[in-house]
Structure 1
Amino acid sequence: MSSARDGDGRALWIVWVTRRPSRGRGRVPARKCHAALDDGGTLVVAEAFVDDDGSGPRAAALMSLHMLVNTAGGRNYSRAAYERMLLRAGFAGTERVPVAGGFAAGVNGLLVARRGPVAGA
Structure 2
Amino acid sequence: MTLWIENLQRLVSLIEGHMAEIDSALPPNGTTTWSHDDWKKHDAGVDKIISGLKTGEGARIKDGSECRLVLAGVSVTCTSGHHGVLRNWMNAARKKIAADDGFNPHGSGPVLIEPREA
Q: TM-score, normalised by structure 2?
A: 0.27
Which is helix-richer, 1 or 2? 2
Which is strand-richer, 1 or 2? 1
Q: TM-score, normalised by structure 1?
A: 0.27
Larger Rg belongs to: 2
